Amino acid sequence: MANIIMILYYFISLFFVLITIKNLIEEKKSRDRIILYLLTVIPFILRLLRFK
């Protein structure tokens, strides 16, 4: 069961990476939001790369 949850978590991480990058690309006005998207995506990338 724990393994299934762990695998699902990687898919959830991937989903958040993709949706955040999509928002980042589509952002047309706010520089603050760009920084916010970049900050938000860090832990998900670290987990996907199995760094931490």
Partner 1 sequence: MKNKLFRFKIVWGIIFAIFILAGGYPLYRHRHYSVQLICGPGVTEIKKLSDYFPPLKDTMADTTIFVLQGKEPGGKALILANTHSNEPEGMLAVTIMIEKAVVEKGTLYLIPFFNHSGGVNTRPGEGYPLYFSIPTPWGKKTFRMGNRDASPLDQWPDPDVYIHYPEKQMLSYLDIRNTNRTWPGRKNGLPMEQVTYAAMELLRKEKVDLAIDLHGAETMFPVTNCIVAPEKSMRIATLASLTVKSMEGFENHLESSPSKFRGLSHREIGDYSDTLPFLLECPIPFLDQPTGPKTEKLLLDGKDSFLLSLAKKKKLFVPYDQSGWPIEKRVGQHLSVILEIIKQYSRKMPARAIVIKDVPRYPELVKNGVGYYFSDPTKVDPKKIVNQ
Torsion of CA 38, 35, 40, 16, to 10 degrees: -60
Q: Rule CB under 8 A: which of 1-52 touch partner 1?
A: 2, 5-6, 9, 24-25, 27-29, 31, 34-35, 38-39, 41-42, 45-46, 49-52
> Tokens 């916010």 label which residue?
36
Residue 51 tokens read as: 């760094």
Residue 50 tokens read as: 């199995």
Q: Considering the complex, what minimum distance in angstroms separates the CB of residue 11 from partner 1?
A: 14
Would you tell me which residues interact with partner 1 (CB under 8 A)?
A: 2, 5-6, 9, 24-25, 27-29, 31, 34-35, 38-39, 41-42, 45-46, 49-52
